[in-house]
Amino acid sequence: MSPLASYRRLLRLAGPAYVAVAFLGRLPLAMSQLGTLLLVSTATGSYGAGGLAAGALAVANAVTSPLAGALADRVGQRPVVLVQSLLGAALLSLLVVLVGADLPTPVLVAAAAAAGASLPQVGPLARVRWRPITDGSGVHQRRLVDAAFSYEGAADEASFALGPALVGVGAVAVSPSGALLLAAGLLAVFGTAFALHPTARRSRASRLAAGVDRAAAARLLTGTVLVLGLAQLLVGMLFGSVQTGATVLATSEGRPGLAGFVHGTLGVGSAVAGLMTAGLPQRIGHELRAWWAACLLLPLSVPLLLVDSLLPLTAVVLVLGCAVAPYMIAVFSLAERVVDPARVGAAMTLLASCTGIGYALGSAVAGRLADDHGHTAAFAVTVTACALAALLTTAARRRLHDAVARADAAGRREPAPAGLAG
């Protein structure tokens, strides 16, 4: 089955409405961090206060998302995502009100953290739904699930390019508060629609069939999952350090507004490459794909140390993105294959949280180094993260292959391809 045929089949199985809702439902999370930064920093006149509030939102979401994912594994996605969507929209709106009331920074930081803790991770939860959606596809199911994860990786990248752009447009056209209220409105509408979509019920039925009562007993934090979490933390550091380095370089050239555009090109290259991964032969296992992608990240990141203007930086970042989505798709696909079916939701949200924590860590370290040594030092963090990803996937390749084989032997998945070939 060709990639195009796989995507067409997925669209028929899930329906265009689901694909649209699942994409639009993930935009508020992509908008909220930058929206909070702009809102609080504009109101207080302090980028420090804005950064603290935005960081609190991101960290709170990273901490609570695995808990929400675990709860969704137990009781189903519908009630969990519905409550998160409505509560998250209300708390984002409340943050706007509190900022308008000129309250002290600690109050605003606490409100931002509360909002972040309530925002649903739609992307990871959408991944959980594809196996039940493709049930009944027979010998083609593995290919369809792989294609679905390729699409989801591309959709995540597109959302984190489009989300900040929407914030920028909203802030210019209306105000920073208008941009955050737009995120709240999108969450209330499309987050609720994602929660109530019939695929949520099918996902719940699949969990019951798999033995949802195993959720409490099945281990989540195995050595393999910890490796995958570390892999996502490293790619999060890549995201954070690239955005920081781009911001520093753009500011030094007197065009800080272009930093978001430069960072967005990372998502463009990544989204295109992500869609193309559906064409890879099934005999190439996901642990091999992760290793190859990580090994490509390192040489593709090194030119960042040589750029000194925005045009070459944009070109380098665009090409670097072409290895990002294949890496992330492989990592998430491995988690879906090796984790007990009763814990897949928790695993997907855990990996997303690791990405967020890595983003915060990469931004912080790159920012500190850039204060003293400029944008090149920030990009050195990117290169270091890529080198560590290559080392990690090399060292863990056998472990990941064996974990897939054990899952297949337990009868939880289709037979695995010969991932160590080549």
* Per-residue confidence (pLDDT) for residue 139, from 0 to 100: 60
Distances (CA, A) of 246 to 169, 258, 374, 377, 383: 20, 9, 11, 11, 14
DSSP secondary structure letter of residue 191: I
Phi, psi of 76 (to 5 degrees): 100, 155
SS3 85: helix
Tell me the C-alpha distance between 22 and 17, whole Å.
8
Tell me the C-alpha distance between 35 and 182, whole Å.
10
* Per-residue confidence (pLDDT) for residue 1, from 0 to 100: 61
- Options 3.40.50.80, 3.30.70.141, 1.20.1250.20, 2.30.110.10; CATH for 1-217 is 1.20.1250.20
- Options 3.40.1280.10, 1.20.1250.20, 1.10.1070.11, 1.20.1730.10; CATH for 218-422 is 1.20.1250.20
Task: Give the HSE-up count for residue 116: Cα atoms under 13 Å, Cβ half-sphere.
Answer: 28
At a CB cut-off of 8 Å and minimum separation 6, what does 278 contact?
A: 3, 6, 7, 146, 147, 150, 151
* Per-residue confidence (pLDDT) for residue 174, from 0 to 100: 81
Q: Do domains 1-217 and 218-422 have the same CATH topology?
A: yes
How confident is the prediction along the chain (422 residues), in pLDDT tens digits per residue? Answer: 677 788 888 889 888 999 999 999 999 998 888 788 778 878 887 767 777 888 888 889 988 988 998 898 888 899 999 999 999 999 999 999 999 998 998 999 999 999 999 999 998 899 889 888 888 766 677 778 888 888 888 888 788 778 877 877 777 778 888 889 999 999 999 999 999 999 887 765 555 555 545 444 456 778 888 999 999 999 989 988 887 888 788 878 887 667 667 777 887 778 888 778 777 777 788 888 999 999 999 999 999 999 988 899 999 999 998 899 889 989 988 888 888 777 888 888 889 889 888 888 887 788 888 888 888 998 999 999 999 999 999 999 888 888 888 877 765 544 444 443 33
* Per-residue confidence (pLDDT) for residue 260, from 0 to 100: 67
What are the domain boundaries of the chain?
1-217, 218-422
